[in-house]
Amino acid sequence: MNIEVLPVPGAGAEDVVVAGYGPDEGSVFTGTENGAIWRISHDGKRIDMVGDTSGRPLGIEMDLDGRLLVCDAQQGVLHLDPRTGAIEPVVDCVAGVPMMFCNNAAVASDGSVWFSDSSTRHGLDRWRDEFVQDTRTGRLLRLTEGGEVEVVLEGLAFANGVALAADESYVAVAESAARTVVRRWLTGPRTGERDFLACDLPGYPDNIARGSDGLIWVSIASPRDPLVERIQRGPMLLRKSVTMVPMALQPKPKRTVRAQAFDDEGRLVHDIECPADRYHMVTGVREHDGRLWLGSLHEPAVARVTL
């Protein structure tokens, strides 16, 4: 498949969201490593800065009132009004302890927010340490309508993308270091149970999102690396020693552009791969009306693919 690359004025357009309603309907939003939040017109011809988190925005969602819900790795969960640029802090700590690595979120129909904290040991600047050391301290959390924060799942291997089923019968969270998408059932006879929507993925998942097609789309940031997984299974002393060597000698993500989509039964419906010569390390994915929008932790651009 052909991929169209749309540059933005900043590196690391990590996630993408398409406004499905309101005055910005059809526009695409992303955040870059300098803290800026950008709005891209539906035709890709206009890019405007709509706000600045003063941190590092990662996951980005549309809230029920048309504001952006931003997971900032340094600031926590924020609301940003794209019409005024006004920012409102939402959650920055859990049980009085600041979050280390707020990552991605999904907004439920009742206004509650499901979001991930990737690690209680390492922040974004040490994401490689968390990935290799595999501390399994990631968490899935929920902000209730009443403003309370509850821990729903813990012990996750680099908790990352979050998505809700179309009928909100389950919430899913990606485990980047384990190559799985964990599911927690919210309604029906299996309420409270945990299983896998997808496991043994061909690479390491990052952000996930429910598309306009009702499928759960999963970004694959890098193909599976057998060497890294052998290190992950080794003693912690070995895992720590690997992350202490110079960056140039550490294992590096391999270039790829890939995203997969799963139905509610966990069946693989789409497996999209594109050439990685002009774009790579896809960390955000959003399907909207037959078009796939992609974000990247490193690229100064978003990309789109027509399905």
Domain 4-306 has CATH 2.40.30.110: no
Distance of alpha carbon 180 from alpha carbon 67, whole angstroms: 30
Residue with tokens 């789109």, as numbered in its chain? 304
- DSSP element (H, E) containing 138: strand 138-143
pLDDT tens digits, one per residue of 247-292: 665 656 789 999 999 999 999 999 999 999 999 999 999 999 999 9
pLDDT tens digits, one per residue of 111-156: 999 999 999 999 999 998 999 899 999 999 999 988 999 999 999 9
Distance of CA 76 to the CA centre of its chain: 14
Sign of CA dihedral 224, 180, 175, 288: positive
First and final CA of the chain: distance in angstroms?
Answer: 8
Q: Quick check: helix, strand or coil at residue 99?
A: coil
Q: Are 262 and 210 in contact (CB under 8 A)?
A: no
- The candidate with the shortest Cα–Cα distance to 83, out of 21, 23, 25, 19, is 23
Predicted confidence (pLDDT) at residue 246 exceeds the cutoff of 80: no
Q: What is the CA radius of gyration of the chain?
A: 18
pLDDT tens digits, one per residue of 185-222: 999 999 999 999 999 999 999 999 999 999 999 999 99
Confidence band of 229 (pLDDT split at 50, 70, 90): confident
Q: Quick check: helix, strand or coil at residue 256?
A: coil
pTM: 0.94
**Which residues make beta-bridge pairs with 271?**
260
